[in-house]
Amino acid sequence: MKYVFLRYGKILFFFFFITDLLFIAFQKDFLRLFTKPLLMLVLAVYVMYLPAAKNKNTWLIISGLLFAAAGDTLLMFENSNANMFIFGLASFLITHLLYILYFIKIPQVKPTLLKQSPIIGLLLLAYIINFIFCLYPHLGPLKVPVIIYTFVIGSMFLFSIHAYNSLDKKIGLRFVLGALLFVLSDSLLAYSKFMTTFPLHGLAIMATYCIAQYLIAEAMEYS
């Protein structure tokens, strides 16, 4: 099993990824029950078998991917049960908190990028505040959980930047780009859910989300 995932784990992930995108494109939502829940599970098992799994903090990334898999599954049933969106949101909130904890635990051996370029943090804060301002009238009873989630995912991105300078560049860059794409994906999801849909929104949301998670998982390959 270990050999199979180390050799073919990425191929298996991209097989499910492309298949899931095709199901979205052809509006075969019921078939996504066989693809979407497996995407993050494949990445979690792949990371579990990497040499980096020996690092005592790698379990945070693996657990984050597993909670994301749970969130993906729960959100598939939000149309039949409104509570599923809250449960899915909570699962992804835990994912981000686990990623934040992983980034915090990275030893700081160099001045952080945020200290060198504080404008990055200010721009992100401005984006979050502006985005919440636009969403707020449309959130209804979900105002508090969505606002909390927005600040947590923004913090996850900030902590990835915070850790960047203390990591090998090919690792740090994957974490930062992965976190950024995660913010983008959830921004697109929130915009389409609470404001208005846009052409190919399902494809855009899933593509940015999967690439984000793939980059975070792949960073562990070089750790």
* For residues 193-208, average pLDDT: 95
Tens digit of each residue's pLDDT (9 = 90 or more) over 178-200: 999 999 999 999 999 999 988 99
* Averaged pLDDT for residues 116-143: 92
What 3-state DSSP class applies to 133?
A: helix
**DSSP line for 37-71:** HHHHHHHHHHHHTSGGGGSTTHHHHHHHHHHHHHH
Contact 50, 76 (CB under 8 A): no
SS3 state at 33? helix
Mean pLDDT, residues 150-155 = 96
pLDDT tens, position by position, 17-52: 999 999 999 999 999 999 999 999 999 999 999 998
pLDDT score of 13 more than 80: yes
Choose between 220 and 114: higher pLDDT: 220
207: pLDDT strictly greater than 80: yes
User: For the chain, what percent of residues have pLDDT higher than 70?
Assistant: 99
**Higher model confidence: residue 63 or residue 3?**
63
What pLDDT is stored for residue 116 in this prediction? 74
Q: Say yes or no to pLDDT of 3 above 80.
A: no
pLDDT at 111 exceeding the cut of 80? no
Amino acid at 146: V
pLDDT at 75: 96
What is residue 194's predicted lDDT score, i.e. its pLDDT? Answer: 95
Q: Residue ranges per domain, the chain?
A: 2-221
Residue 93 CA, distance from chain mean position: 10
pLDDT at 109: 64
Determine the average pLDDT of the residues in 120-125.
89
Record the tokens describing residue 1, joined without a space.
């099993």
Q: Is the pTM of this model over 0.85?
A: yes
Average pLDDT score over the chain: 93
